Structure 1
């Protein structure tokens, strides 16, 4: 299910189960939802989870293996060094400056028809920044040990896939599969290698170039480092290195015979007045291993107030991101045993 520019995943937590809609995020290391009592919670339009009403909830102590896991890259663990039995507090700061703070605990999760009896997750009581009222938190689908995927990795054989519906289909459900149902094969499937590097919880792949028409733009002046871009379903725009982005923007400007307009919010760099049947040439992302992924107008242009804007932006802090809009209407599969990501054009 899509909300604003986020894709929400329906989960049930606790005993008795409480329905929660949270952002499906391949760039996040843990799953967390807002919890009562809140020190500082953003407004959400669904009930805030109360762990004290769940018989399966258990706070994790500082001596727990989850709290002492040294492989965490994106989470800050805070413990009282004088008391190993104190609760395991965590904190996360995201690239946009948003933060979440809470306590790690065990809880029962229900997803579809299956139950996970003991899922380590974040009970968040202090959350500040750019959160929307449609979401109760984040489902961490990243590659970390404490992510949703990491904790059920053996159960699903390291395989999951999703297909994100078109941004305009607010009430239609996207599909996510785990295990055998996530295996991808057949005509049209291409793949690229997952690169293990820091932060380990992210899915790093290698982008060699992008093409628009007959113009091929290499990654960062042909300085192509393995694992130079991150697959992130929790971020809408795709972000490219400044030099690469500027060349792409110039190429788009040269083929669109219209005058650009300013985005009133100042967030988007290239916008045009909204007209019917507005199109831009196909953009192709060339990933390592011969995985050429086609991006049509709907994958690259978003409608704002009376204007249409390019949903590709320069990277922040040198972090290149392959965002959710570019992933839309692609069946995307992850095989963590083979260290591969698969793509297949699909009307989701």
Structure 2
């Protein structure tokens, strides 16, 4: 059932808009009071900040700890000038199609159970900077890791939904175009093949037609968009920095690979299955990791493994155990400007919710989406609303005549009482200088979960504490 923000709350918002219109960028925070009409939380920012600049803005947080190295967008301003290339950003249709394929793949696996290991040890940490891969078909985020001895740097997609880390290997019989050289196991002193009788071979799905030699452990992994990799499950040295190496790291050495990759070398699997880097490094990093996704392609973020000092103002909510390797949350409501919208909790709890690093948009149940969308439109009535680039993207604005914009804060309400505020800027996706749209959609009939996508997670430190069964959110995680 659709609803809207109260008249008093909206009046407060419009009055506040007048007071902050001269500000360049900042947050307006008030305590969430019992009377929601007494506050309307907003975020004011420069319109130009919605777009990537020509200057690289490095994450300051990535430099605060040892064993840190920087990754850059290979086609953005943070990349080495000698290797710089231009690339055409994906169309909106491509983004939606890729998102839909990913969600179909996730939904198909949600009811499947997976084995887990519970290895807990003394915590440690290591941080890897992350960049926005918005030049890629899936708008994914990338990290660079070193593989082999001597190490070969590889750009991999950070994926909380994937069970396996894999990369293309020389000499693959079926290869997609890759901009950086492929990994060659023959040039590594630490590469080890795995026998098909080795117990760890059970961590991966075997192809119906195993690769030759059949005495080795071959694997097959496929994704909803038709992307797939078939190769040999192997062991290698994974280098995070000069001080941080993981010996006998299990990964897929891809020999037959299909997909719309054009820059990245493969996937870094971060889900809760045995072959993921989270489970493999459990004794060293205690199954704790965090990331901060940058605000644009001209900024960097980071990926951290292991226990670190808790970020300021972090809020934890329960990680919901479920029969799937994905990270489930107990979402019971959504709010706008600090006000929880009038939506039955069962609308959210019946399907459940997962948080995902790969999906671009945030997907809500139809009733929740319609209520939220209508309230957002009311709060943004000061700005001209325009048609979207597709029928699926229906709430869009032209900010080209404004220097700065004020957008209501979005809140996620969880069953344990945690309320996480998302800066209004993170709710928008800019498709062109004259077209910025709400980054939320309703999920389709048959979908089994709501999904908190990566665009609303931008600039926040998202901490996954698997042994503590919780996920934390902290503002200003990248800088």
Report the secondary structure of 1:304's partner residue: strand
The Cα of 1:79 is off from its aligned counterpart by 6.2
The Cα of 1:220 is off from its aligned counterpart by 7.0
Q: Residue 353 of structure 2: which of 229, 240, 246 is its match?
A: 229
Contact kept, 8 Å, 1:78 with 1:88, in 2: the verdict is no
Unaligned runs of 5+ in 1: 70-74
Report the secondary structure of 1:76's partner residue: coil
1:122 equivalent in structure 2:
252
The Cα of 1:347 is off from its aligned counterpart by 4.7
Show CA shifts across 1:189-235 (max 9, x none): 21111122122x21111111111144515477535148x22221223
Count of matched residue pairs: 334
2:12 equivalent in structure 1:
none
The Cα of 1:114 is off from its aligned counterpart by 0.8
Q: TM-score if structure 1 supplies the norm length?
A: 0.86
1:193 equivalent in structure 2:
318
Contact kept, 8 Å, 1:285 with 1:294, in 2: the verdict is yes
Q: Higher RCO, 1 or 2 (CA under 8 Å, sep at least 6)?
A: 2
1:251 equivalent in structure 2:
375
Show CA shifts across 1:222-266 (max 9, x none): 35148x2222122322222233222222222233323331215x5
1:262 equivalent in structure 2:
388
The Cα of 1:139 is off from its aligned counterpart by 0.8
Contact kept, 8 Å, 2:228 with 2:257, in 1: the verdict is yes
Show CA shifts across 1:321-343 (max 9, x none): 21221111211212121111111
1:297 equivalent in structure 2:
424
Greater Cα radius of gyration, structure 1 or 2: 2
Q: Residue 149 of structure 1: which of 275, 278, 286 is its match?
A: 278
Structure 2 vs 1, CA of residues 224 and 39 (structure 1 numbering), >3 Å: closer, same or farther? same
Structure with more of its chain in strand, by fraction: 1
2:37 equivalent in structure 1:
none
| Separation (CA, whole Å) in 2 of partners of 1:340 and 1:219 | 24
Show CA shifts across 1:27-79 (max 9, x none): 2111111222233333222111122222222232322222224xxxxx63336
1:101 equivalent in structure 2:
230
Unaligned runs of 5+ in 2: 1-130
| Separation (CA, whole Å) in 2 of partners of 1:46 and 1:302 | 29
Contact kept, 8 Å, 1:190 with 1:290, in 2: the verdict is no
Q: TM-score if structure 2 supplies the norm length?
A: 0.64
| Separation (CA, whole Å) in 2 of partners of 1:84 and 1:103 | 10
2:111 equivalent in structure 1:
none
Structure 2 vs 1, CA of residues 261 and 205 (structure 1 numbering), >3 Å: closer, same or farther? same
Structure with more of its chain in helix, by fraction: 2
Matched, 1:241 2:368: no
